[in-house]
Structure 1
Amino acid sequence: MKVLAVDTSSIVATCAILDEDRLISEYILNNKRTHSQKIMPIIKEILESSELKPEDIDVFAVSIGPGSFTGLRIGVATIKSLAHALGKKVIGIPTLDALAFNLPYSEGIIVPMMDARRDRVFTGIYKWENGSLCVIQKPDAVELDELMNILKERDESIIVNGDGTLVYRQKIIEALGDRVFFAPKSANMARASSVAELALSRAKEGKFENFFDLVPDYLRKSQAQREYEEKIKCCGEKNE
């Protein structure tokens, strides 16, 4: 079974092809968010370099969020289109699950963090148990201080990754001290290989999704939505 996965949830554009027992290829570009221009050429290049055709892929997988609204829409739409055109299976993987999977068999808990701005992060808490990555706290958008208070109450060592750890590194150190470890650079960003491996596990269990129903999971309203609601609220108050 061959899985092609993409992740466009952040500035990183990444694509990977995974077979049952090996990672065939992986492409990672961590430079400027122009996914609409780059993701299809990346997919084409990785298929050609792997000497594969689109129809050789059994399952198409994609990171579904949280993350960049535009990036997620591009990634999800691309994978849905390929799966639909080729009549293939599709699987969506939460972005934070894949980020945590970048740190296999880590001791303690894994806390991926994606910057949600205004001292907020998209985050969850994960732990490896009996060879499987378990979700201890489901992904959510939380205040950084709230997350630090939650982590202070736990006894385990803590390893963090994601772009939120770069933005808030000093605050994290001040709150958690020597209990916190920061992931190496190679594990600190989105990797399509992690999306692909999680998708392969789901595929073996028959946990596929209908590509019509596959949608991004933003975990928050878009800036345009928030501004619109504020405008409506203000106008409503003036009219009362």
Structure 2
Amino acid sequence: MIILAIDSSSKVATVALMKNHKLLGEITLNDKKEHSVILMNIIDNLLKLNNLTIDDIDGYVVSKGPGSFTGLRIGMATIKGLSFGSNKPYVSISSLDALALSASNFDGIICPIMDALRNSVYTSLYKGHPSLVASEIPVTLERLLDFSALDIDELIEIIKSKNEKVIFIGDGVDKYKDYLIEHCPNCYFPPNHLNLVRASALGEIGYSLIENGEFDDPNSTPFYLKKPQAEREYEQRMK
């Protein structure tokens, strides 16, 4: 089985191809180009590099959020179009789950943080557990905190209450690393390249779901956790 996975939930555009749990290739761009301009070109280039066409794809994986409102809509619309056009299934996975998987061997709390602006982050908390089944993902994730949009100080207080070592991962690390080191004892950080959401991590989770016949409803939508800034500003003016 061959699947194509994409994530456009942040300024990163990332696409991966996987076959039988093996990564065939991945292209990740970390810049500010519009995803609507580059995403299909990345998909086409990755398929050509692997001597494949869209007809060879058996299923799709896409980020459902949280993250950029525009980026999420572009990613979901792209995958829905490919899925419906080929009559192949798709699944949507949280970018936070994908980030946590990249740090899943850490023997403490895993805390992905994605910058949500205004001194807040999109986040969740996880523990990684090694799998004893060879056909499954080597490490499964236990979610300790539901997907949340939290003020960074609120998150730090939650972390402190756990009284465990914690690893922070995600694009929020670049913005808050010094502050976290100062205010959050016993914290760790991964190599910088792991702070980018990877389509390969998203695909690894989604591959197992597709393999088990767990598909998204065609009407599934992204989740944002926060209202769009324009809507928040409008509500503020109307108070």
Q: In 2, are the aligned partners of 1:5 and 1:62 still within 8 Å (CA)?
A: yes
Pairing of 1:76-91 with structure 2 (within 5 A): 76-91=76-91
Q: What per-residue deviation string (whole Å, max 9, x for no partner) do you get for residues 119-163 of structure 1?
A: 111000011123311111111101111110111122322111111
Q: In 2, are the aligned partners of 1:64 and 1:217 still within 8 Å (CA)?
A: yes
Secondary structure at 1:100 match in 2: helix
Number of residue pairs the alignment of both structures matches = 231
Question: C-alpha distance in 2, partners of 1:71/1:100?
Answer: 20
Secondary structure at 1:67 match in 2: coil
**2:69 corresponds to 1:69:** yes
Matched residue type, 1:93: I
**C-alpha displacement at 1:210, in angstroms?**
2.3
For the pair shown, which has the larger CA radius of gyration, 1 or 2? 1
Identify the match of residue 222 of structure 1 among 224, 228, 234. 228
Report the equivalent of 1:7.
7
**C-alpha displacement at 1:226, in angstroms?**
1.0
Identify the match of residue 188 of structure 1 among 156, 179, 195. 195
Report the equivalent of 1:95.
95
Q: Which moved more, 1:124-133 or 1:141-150?
A: 124-133
> Normalising to structure 1: TM-score of the pair?
0.93
Q: Which moved more, 1:71-80 or 1:223-232?
A: 223-232
Q: What per-residue deviation string (whole Å, max 9, x for no partner) do you get for residues 41-69 of structure 1?
A: 00000011111111111111101111111
Question: C-alpha distance in 1, partners of 2:130/2:46?
Answer: 33
Q: In 2, are the aligned partners of 1:12 and 1:33 still within 8 Å (CA)?
A: no
**2:143 corresponds to 1:139:** no
Secondary structure at 1:210 match in 2: coil
Q: In 2, are the aligned partners of 1:121 and 1:141 still within 8 Å (CA)?
A: yes
**2:208 corresponds to 1:201:** yes
**C-alpha displacement at 1:104, in angstroms?**
3.2
Q: In 2, are the aligned partners of 1:7 and 1:192 still within 8 Å (CA)?
A: yes
Q: What per-residue deviation string (whole Å, max 9, x for no partner) do you get for residues 83-133 of structure 1?
A: 011111010001101111112322111100011111111000011123311
Matched residue type, 1:188: N
Report the equivalent of 1:237.
none
Report the equivalent of 1:36.
36
Question: C-alpha distance in 1, partners of 2:80/2:9?
Answer: 16
Matched residue type, 1:145: D
Q: Which runs of 5+ in 1 are unaligned?
A: 234-240
**C-alpha displacement at 1:40, in angstroms?**
0.3
Identify the match of residue 178 of structure 2 among 170, 174, 180. 170
Question: C-alpha distance in 2, partners of 1:144/1:167?
Answer: 11
For the aligned residue pairs, the C-alpha RMSD in angstroms reads 1.1
**C-alpha displacement at 1:174, in angstroms?**
1.0
Q: In 2, are the aligned partners of 1:10 and 1:33 still within 8 Å (CA)?
A: no
Matched residue type, 1:165: V
Q: Which runs of 5+ in 2 are unaligned?
A: 132-139
Q: In 1, are the aligned partners of 2:104 and 2:110 still within 8 Å (CA)?
A: no
Secondary structure at 1:224 match in 2: helix
